[in-house]
Amino acid sequence: MRSYEPEVKLCKRRVLSESPLYIGIEMSGIKTCKRALPRGPAAIALLLATASLSLGFAQQAPLAAGAVARSIGAIKAINGTVITLAPDSGPNLQVNVQPTTRILRAEPGEKDLKNAKPITFQDLQIGDRILVGGKLGDDGSLIASTVVAMKQSDLEAKRQRELQDWQKRGVDGPAKAVDPAAGTVTIAVRGKDVVIHTSRNTIIRRYAPDSVKFEDAGPGTLQEIHPADQVRARGERSADGGEMNAEEVVSGTFPNFAATVNSVDASSSTLSVHDLASKKTVTIKVTQDSQLRRLTPEMAQGFAAMLRRMSGGATPNATSNAGPGTGGQGNATTGPGATGGGGSGISGRSGSAPDLLRLFSRAPATSLGDLHKGDAVSILSTQGTGGLGTVIFLLSGVEPILQATPNAAQAMMLAPWSLSAPAGDNGGP
């Protein structure tokens, strides 16, 4: 996460003739309300400016000197009484803090600022998220009258609590059916259908085309979810586990395929591969967030032997394009069909899915330069834009596995990986 980027929302408080206008600020997913200007033309102007922020307009403040302005972002630097603010959009902004500037600390989870506590300028630190209100100076800087801060440490603590909640009350798996009219999406969780019920209060997000990071996910709809998309939801499940009333849903499309390398372009950090299923050439890019690992010969041979033993029965659960889900709730170190308890991660009950997460997480890291023409790889990627996806996870050294059985290519799908697992290293909610 990026310590939760703020969104701006209007508080659902009516403006009374003797009451101040309230402006709602969604910081780290928590709505706080700040007293602003009295009712009148100036208040209306401020309301419109704040509404523009909520719609994502880059221009956050009027250009005229002396105009009321507001900005939200993270503290990038502090020099004397000047804060360099990295706004959520647009260039860095210089914020001049005056002796009369009111500085408040809001705790994550608070619904308004009634419990906010005054703090000193010295309490502000790089990385803290702040909402600054004031007037625009002649030099384009923001002369602060009020600074509302959420400490980075508080946001991280809240993030950890939410991660634990995602583990405890979250489910995920490939989508099987979507009914926008009924507000439901059905997902497969360890071979069992779970119907996710949404309401107007459910937060629905969609992963960005080139990211599996939850902080990059934007507002989404049920209509955007398609069969085989990866869906993760958090909420209260029914006693039999077959239904959930979701508080939050995040979904995305993640192509998942076995391929052979055609060529490597280190200068552009791209990889051309031949998709063994579609028989098409696919070009994907590798970034610093991409995970590249290579199976040792011993690991590959062990997995291949297991596939041969299982070839007479059910093959490992895998869904092309199912995405990075655990297929279940609980500890992110277990995947669908995991054998439970310890174990090597390459053995399991007859007909059960191998624990790919435990197995492949032990493989040594590799690099783009270690890949060569003809190498067999298993790839999990983003959907990408313009036909160019980004590698999420690439596993090489899989030749013995692909040669093990006719269905080995499907068995190598990385769907059991939990790239959306809250406790994982790959991001997620």
pLDDT level of residue 242 (50, 70, 90 thresholds): very high
Q: Quick check: do 7-150 and 170-252 share a fold?
A: yes
Contact yes or no for 379/373 (Cβ under 8 A): no
Per-residue pLDDT tens for 327-355?
A: 333 333 223 223 233 333 333 333 334 44
Nearest to 134 by CA among 110, 103, 155, 164: 103
Mean pLDDT of 224-237: 93
- Distance between CA atoms of 157 and 172, rounded to whole angstroms? 24
Contact yes or no for 319/228 (Cβ under 8 A): yes
- Distance between CA atoms of 28 and 109, rounded to whole angstroms? 9
Sequence spans of domains, the chain: 7-150, 170-252, 256-411
DSSP annotation of 428 reads: -
Contact yes or no for 145/133 (Cβ under 8 A): yes
Identify the CATH number of the domain defined by range 7-150: 2.40.50.140
The mean pLDDT value of the chain amounts to 74
360 CB burial (10 A radius; 0-12, 13-18, 19+): buried
Phi, psi for 240 (deg, rounded to 5): -90, 0
CATH architecture assignment, domain 170-252 = Beta Barrel (2.40)
Per-residue pLDDT tens for 273-314?
A: 999 888 999 999 999 888 899 998 888 888 888 777 776 544
Sheet holding 30-35, edge to edge: 7-8, 22-27, 30-35
Contact yes or no for 237/246 (Cβ under 8 A): no
Please determine, for residue 264, whether its predicted confidence score (pLDDT) is greater than 70.
yes
Per-residue pLDDT tens for 101-137?
A: 999 998 886 777 788 899 999 999 999 999 999 999 9
Mean pLDDT of 160-188: 91
**Which has the minimum average pLDDT: 22-36, 305-319, 322-336?**
322-336
DSSP annotation of 121 reads: G
pLDDT at 211: 84
